[in-house]
Amino acid sequence: MGYIKHEILHIFIAWIVISLAFAWQGFSNFSAFYLNLPIVLLAAGTGFIVHELSHKFVAIHYDAKARFVMWPYGLVFAVALALISGGGFVFAAPGAVYIWGKDLSRKESGIISVAGPVSNLVIAILVFVLSLIIFQFYISQFLVTLFYTIISVNLFLGLFNLLPIPPLDGYKVLVWNKPVWAVLLVIFIAALIYFW
């Protein structure tokens, strides 16, 4: 039971730190930071937490043990880069789901890895569809910013994690199934171009 509390604490710390990094708009723009922070907390919560839990639960489905462990150096680097770039770029490497207890096949490892980016894509699509429905009846700047931020953060996190560089998800997906990796990469790039 203790390790579950430990994992929850790691997820919570990583979520808050990543949110702070994404919300940062530079030293001269504190008002934007405070306005953005609640929205970014929701966006990072959907993007980061669901992404990591997707890895965890798919691994458990394959009879492996799994838990999230934050990466303190990655969190420090994310905040430092956000500060240096004035919020222009965030390197989001808050931690990873560690999997043990079973020798996974290449396919199982690939499916566990692809679950994270796919969860980001699903969230982005669902929020986009929800925005189309809601904006038929009501539009506010807050909702526009909220939906746009949730979609953008999820697309960014999904695309970043699909980079074919170890230990990112994209490397394991590419090793398992190149067409799946390529199709997802194209979808994420096209979606980001559309929303930016």
Nearest alpha-carbon partner for 123 in 97, 141, 149? 149
Phi/psi for 173 (5° steps) reads: -65, -45
The answer, yes or no, to whether residue 88 has pLDDT greater than 90, is no
* Cβ atoms within 10 Å, residue 59: 26
What is the C-alpha to C-alpha distance for residues 189 and 57, in angstroms, rounded to an integer?
27
Query: When comparing pLDDT for 181 and 37, which is higher?
Result: 181
Q: Which of 7, 52, 108, 169 is catalytic?
A: 52
Cβ-proximal residues to 93 (8 Å cutoff; 6+ apart), any chain: 71, 74, 77, 78
What is the arithmetic mean of pLDDT over 11-21?
93
Residue 52: active-site member: yes
Q: Which is more confidently placed, 81 or 155?
A: 155
pTM: 0.90
Residue 22: per-residue pLDDT: 84
C-alpha dist (Å) from residue 84 to 31, 39, 64, 106, 193: 18, 22, 40, 39, 25
What percent of the chain lies above the pLDDT cut of 70?
Answer: 95
Query: For residue 2, what pLDDT band results from cuts at 50, 70 and 90?
Result: low
| pLDDT reported for residue 195 | 82
Half-sphere exposure of 119 (CA within 13 A, CB side): 24
Domain ranges for the chain, please list them. Answer: 2-195
